[in-house]
Amino acid sequence: MKIVYLLIAIPIVFASEQSVRVVGKLTCHGHPAQYAELQLVSKFSIGGEAFARNIFTDPAGNFNIAGYINPSSWSKIDARLYVWHKCYEKPYEHSDPCSNWFEIKIPGIYVNDGPFAKKKWDLGEVKLEKPRSGQQLDSCD
């Protein structure tokens, strides 16, 4: 019975808040990708998602997204950034109301201890017209 309590207590003792912050700019054929949607998610190998944070790019295409997870995790979070946009490879393509989307895995070195991210991952300019591995088109119901 003591072993069971120990196995439960160890993760709680070593659990700590972790945070992530990602900044950058989205462009489409040289123009700002205005109001593209971004979502910051932390995935667990067991149990699904830990946090989800949604924002939109500003009129200049810039974004600054951050989130944290409370001490319920005892391992590094597996943070991902999802991007939904309406930029296509050829400027004359248009599939409104459909959106392209893709996922970016955030490197573990940008996962911070504590509720406020001290280190940020600066993606720089992301050109949305360039197809990405795993990019998909949302269903257009």
pLDDT at 17 over 60: yes
Contact in structure between 73 and 44 (CB atoms under 8 Å): yes
Q: Tell me the pLDDT tens digit for each residue of 109-123.
A: 999 998 889 999 999
Does residue 78 fall inside a structural domain? yes
10: CATH:
2.60.40.3330
* Containing structural domain, residue 51: 2-131
Residue 19's Cβ-count burial label (10 Å; 0-12, 13-18, 19+) is buried
Tell me the whole-structure pTM to 2 decimals: 0.78
Q: How many domains does the chain have?
A: 1
Dist CA 134 CA 25 (whole Å): 20
Interval 97-114 mean pLDDT: 89
Give tens-digit pLDDT for 41-95.
987 655 545 667 899 999 999 999 998 877 555 567 889 999 999 887 776 666 5
Q: Per the domain annotation, does 8 fall within a domain?
A: yes
